[in-house]
C-alpha cells in the first residue's frame, strides 16, 4: 500500500533524526534540548520518546516540543502514541511492532506522517505493504538505549532493506559519527540517534558532527 499524502514531508536529502528520550533529559528543559539538537546543520527531525511518563506529562512535553520544533523549522514525531501526537499537533507518529499498525494510526492522524520500526525481514516486508511513510530498521549495532533490545541486524540489513523499497529507510541502533558513513552508503536516508546525542558533553556539537558525516557520505 502506498503512503497517504501527508501535510508534512520528510527531508528529500539525507538527514539526522534525533530521538529525545525523557529518561535522559537531565536538568535541561525540553525546549533547551530541541534548541541544542535541531537545526539546518543538525537534526531535521525530532522524536519525543517518553516510556513510563504519566500521560499528562507526556502530552505537556509533546506540546512544548511541538512549539520548539516549529520555531526551528524541523519535523516533530511522537513515539508510540497517535492520540498524543494528534493532541500536540505533531507532524507524525512512530509506531513499533507492539503498537497500533500504520493503518490504525492513520484513523487518528489522517494527514500525518507515519513511521514504523522493523527488526527482521518479515517485519520489513509487512511494513512495505503498509501505508507507512518511512521504515526504520535496526538495531544496526549494539545499543544501550533499550532494556531488552532486538538482535543486531548489521549494515547488511540496511542495504537489503533499501533495495526493497523506494520509501525512506531510517537506520537506528548504536550509531555514531564513526559508523554513520557506512550506514548511509548502505542506503539509509536517515539516521535515528539517542545516546550519542543525549549523553554527549556537547549535544549541539555531537549533532553537527553526525549531520556533517551524513551529508559527506551522501556526497
- Strand 15-21 with 43-49, pairing: parallel
Instruction: For residue 51, indicate whether it is catalytic.
Output: no
Q: Which of 70, 71, 129, 146 is catalytic?
A: 146
pLDDT value of position 17: 98
- Strand 75-79 with 92-95, pairing: parallel
What is the band of 38 on the pLDDT scale with cuts at 50, 70, 90? very high
Show the domains of the chain with their CATH numbers: 15-218 (3.20.20.70)
pLDDT value of position 21: 98
Instruction: For residue 29, indicate whether it is catalytic.
Output: no
What is the band of 219 on the pLDDT scale with cuts at 50, 70, 90? confident
Instruction: For residue 49, indicate whether it is catalytic.
Output: yes
Secondary element (H or E) of residue 170? strand 169-172
pLDDT value of position 177: 95
Structural contact between residues 119 and 155, judged by C-beta atoms closer than 8 angstroms: no
Q: Which of 42, 66, 106, 117 is catalytic?
A: 117
DSSP letter for 206, please. H
Amino acid at each position: 500500500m502506498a503512503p497517504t499524502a501527508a501535510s508534512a514531508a520528510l527531508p528529500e536529502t539525507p538527514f539526522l533524526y534525533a530521538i529525545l528520550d525523557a529518561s535522559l533529559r537531565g536538568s535541561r528543559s525540553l525546549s533547551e534540548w530541541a534548541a541544542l539538537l535541531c537545526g539546518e546543520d543538525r537534526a531535521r527531525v525530532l522524536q519525543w520518546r517518553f516510556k513510563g511518563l504519566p500521560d499528562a506529562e507526556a502530552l505537556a512535553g509533546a506540546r512544548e516540543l511541538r512549539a520548539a520544533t516549529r520555531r526551528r523549522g524541523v519535523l516533530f514525531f511522537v513515539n508510540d502514541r497517535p492520540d498524543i501526537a494528534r493532541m500536540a499537533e505533531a507532524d507524525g507518529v512512530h509506531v513499533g511492532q507492539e503498537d497500533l499498525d500504520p493503518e490504525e494510526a492513520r484513523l487518528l492522524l489522517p494527514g500525518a506522517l507515519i513511521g514504523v520500526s522493523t527488526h527482521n525481514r518479515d517485519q520489513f516486508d509487512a511494513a512495505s505493504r503498509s501505508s507507512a511513510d518511512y521504515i526504520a530498521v535496526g538495531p544496526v549495532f549494539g545499543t544501550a538505549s533499550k532494556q531488552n533490545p532486538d538482535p543486531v541486524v548489521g549494515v547488511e540489513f540496511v542495504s537489503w532493506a533499501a533495495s526493497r523499497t523506494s520509501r525512506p529507510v531510517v537506520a537506528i541502533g548504536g550509531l555514531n559519527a564513526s559508523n554513520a558513513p557506512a550506514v548511509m552508503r548502505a542506503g539509509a536516508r536517515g539516521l535515528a540517534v539517542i545516546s550519542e546525542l543525549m549523553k554527549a558533553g556537547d549535544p549541539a556539537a555531537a549533532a553537527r558532527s553526525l549531520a556533517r558525516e551524513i551529508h559527506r557520505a551522501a556526497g
